[in-house]
Amino acid sequence: MLGAIRRARRSIKLESYIFADDEIGRQFAAALGERARAGVQVLVHIDAAGSLFWGSRHLEQLLRREGIRLRWFHRWSWRAPWRYNRRNHRKLLVVDGRTGFLGGFNIHRENSRAVYGEARWRDTHVQVGGALARALQTLFDAFWRGRRRRYPFLQTPDGNVLITNHVRRGRLFLRNLFAARFATARGHIWLTTPYFVPDRRTQRGLVAAARRGVDVRVLVPRKNNEHLTQWAGQAAYAALLAAGVKIYEYFPRMLHAKTMVVDGSWSSVGTANIDYRSFFLNYEINLAGTDRALAAALEAEFQDDLRQSEQIASARWARRGWLARILEFIGWLARRWL
C-alpha cells in the first residue's frame, strides 16, 4: 500500500476505520503528504468512532497542512446523536484508479510485523487492478460525495461483486448472498471472522448445511479484544455444534481476517463480520465472486490457520459452567448494539 501511494501520479483515495497516530499511521501520513505536495489529489476519509482513541489532533493537523483533503465520518453531534452509531467500517485504498486494496487492515501498528512483532494481528487484505480497481474508485467517489444510496452493490464485467452496505437493500444483499451460498454448498463452507454473532437466518443456514453433510467450519479468535461480542457469539455455539458445525479457536494472536470460501469455487473477503453490526448497521465493503485463484489462496490461509487452532468439542462445551452461560445471555441481549 505504501509503495502504491509513493508511485501515485494523479490521485490517492483512502478510507479507514482506524488511522492511528503511531509508527504506521505516521508512515502513511508522510507518504500521503509527499504526494500531495507533488500535486497529486489526496482524499482521506476516516471514521470518527473507529479512530476516537487511536488518532490525534496532531495527526489531523499534519494531514491538513500537507494539503490532504481529510473528512471525518459521522463525528458526534448533539443534533443527530444516533448517527454516531452508524460507522464507516470500510478499509479501502485506490491509487490512480488503477490499483486498489481492500480487506481487514486498519492503518495502525497492530497490523505491522516490523513494529508489533510476532503478536501482530492475523489479518487478510487483497490487492486488485483493472475493472475492480475502477469499481472501488466509483464506490469511494460516491461515498465521498454523500451519494451512499446509489450503489448497494456493484458488479464488474468479470463477474465479481463489491457489496457496500450503503442502504437497506445492500445490507440485505450481503446477508442474503451468504445465505444463498450456505443453501447451495455441497462440499464445504470455511468461514473466518473475528466477531461471530450470527443472526437467526445465518444460524439456520449453517445448521442446515451441516445436517446435509457439508463440511462447515467456523474459525474465530481465542484472544478477542471485544469480550461482550465474544460472549454474544458463544450463545449460538451449542445449537451449531449439535448440528455438526465445527468451531475452531485460533490461539497464537488476535484474528481479524474476514473471509469465506464455499466449495473451493466461490469466496468472499472484506470488512464485514458475521454479526448484526456488519449485516444491518455499518457501512462495509466486501469482494465476492468465483475467482478460483483467490478462493485457493484463501483456502490455503484457512488450512494454515487451522493448524494453529483448537477445535471446540461439543461435549466439553455442554459442560461449561453457569457463569459462562450467564455471560453468553448478557452478550446475546446486547447483540444488536455491539
Instruction: Grade residue 171 by pLDDT with cuts at 50, 70 and 90.
Output: low
Judged by DSSP in three states, 325 sits in helix
Name the percent of the chain in helix, strand, coil, to the closest 5: 40, 25, 35
Neighbours of 1 (CB within 10 A): 16
**Does 114 have pLDDT greater than 60?**
yes
Backbone φ/ψ region at 107: left (φ over 0), alpha (ψ -120 to 50), beta? beta
CATH assignment of 158-337, among 1.20.1740.10, 3.30.870.10, 3.40.640.10, 2.30.30.760: 3.30.870.10
**Does 11 have pLDDT greater than 80?**
yes
Q: Which residue has the higher pLDDT, 220 or 85?
A: 220
**Does 52 have pLDDT greater than 60?**
yes
Name the residue ranges covered by the structural domains of the chain: 2-144, 158-337
**What pLDDT digit, counting tens, does each position of 202-221 carry?**
999 999 999 999 999 999 99
| Torsion over CA: 30, 34, 36, 40 (sign) | negative
Q: Which residue has the higher pLDDT, 215 or 150?
A: 215
- For residue 309, how far is the Cα from the chain centroid? 21
| Residue whose C-alpha is closest to residue 318's, from 245, 238, 256 | 238
Q: Which residue has the higher pLDDT, 290 or 172?
A: 290
The catalytic residues are 89, 91, 96, 256, 258, 263
**246-250 and 259-262 as β-strands: parallel, antiparallel, unpaired?**
unpaired
How high is the pLDDT of residue 247? Answer: 97
Distances in whole angstroms, Cα of residue 129 to Cα of each of 87, 94, 115? 27, 9, 28
| Residue whose C-alpha is closest to residue 100's, from 125, 75, 82 | 125
Instruction: Grade residue 156 by pLDDT with cuts at 50, 70 and 90.
Output: confident
Asked whether the domain spanning 158-337 has the same topology as the one spanning 2-144, the reply is yes
**Does 82 have pLDDT greater than 80?**
no
Predicted structure pTM score: 0.92
CATH code of 2-144, in short, is 3.30.870.10
How high is the pLDDT of residue 223? Answer: 83
Instruction: Grade residue 66 by pLDDT with cuts at 50, 70 and 90.
Output: very high
Out of 13-17, 169-173, 210-214, 323-327, pick the least confident: 169-173
Instruction: Grade residue 168 by pLDDT with cuts at 50, 70 and 90.
Output: low
Out of 73-77, 159-163, 218-222, 255-259, pick the least confident: 73-77
Candidate ranges 82-86, 175-179, 226-230, 313-317; pick with highest mean pLDDT: 175-179
How high is the pLDDT of residue 334? Answer: 81
Cβ contacts of 150 within 8 Å, gap of 6 or more: 142, 166
